[in-house]
Chains A and B, each alone.
Chain A
């Protein structure tokens, strides 16, 4: 079966532009997570959905970051007025329930470069 997919795989934006990153989770997975991975670092949590409900957005670095999952499936991470420090790989993960010993499966990521 298909894994987690993300698009675009690469995105170059000029400082100040808005970007939208898409995540298609594994079909039937209830939980969806977004992580940000800076160069040479491990992934860092951004936000978490269970179905369409955003249960935790404590990792979003600023109010320029916004995520949604309106129908409980596909999710979009939007970054407004991008800054150079937003350059990173944005990873999406999904899990069946998101709780207990459930495994999070990751997509390939979107590499965002802000010039």
Chain B
């Protein structure tokens, strides 16, 4: 039973356009959500997070939206750059502080 789901295994976007990565979750007790970015042979790098009491958080080119009623969050990257090409993991934290990850979406930004 996958509590955090990323249904798109891959996404391809042209440089300069918007990238939208989606994530769904099932546990309404999750109180904090995070996005991590991962390059090959490296560990996940924290990108941006959002508390369950908010619906939007923005940091430069990255914005995370949370729709609690739909149990859905999304990461928007605009404008997309070739260096953004990586695997993006959505994660949720439960009340025990551990992170529960989705399976990842591989983003490729092409010129």
* A contact set with B: CB distance below 8 Å: 4, 31, 33, 35, 40-45, 48, 56, 59, 91, 93, 98-99, 101, 103-109
Interface of B is mostly: strand
- A115 to B12: give the CA distance in the assembly, Å: 35
- Residues of B whose CB lies within 8 Å of any CB of A are 4, 6, 32, 34, 36, 41-46, 49, 51, 89, 91, 96-104
Verify B96–A108 contact, CB threshold 8 A.
Answer: no
- Specify which chain B residues have a CB less than 8 angstroms from the CB of A41 in the assembled complex: 103-104
Which single member of B32, B42, B103, B104 contacts A108 (CB below 8 Å)?
Answer: B42
The SS class assigned to the A binding surface is loop
Please name the residue on chain A nearest to B32 by beta carbon: A101
- Most chain-B CB neighbours within 10 Å: which of A35, A105, A106, A107? A106
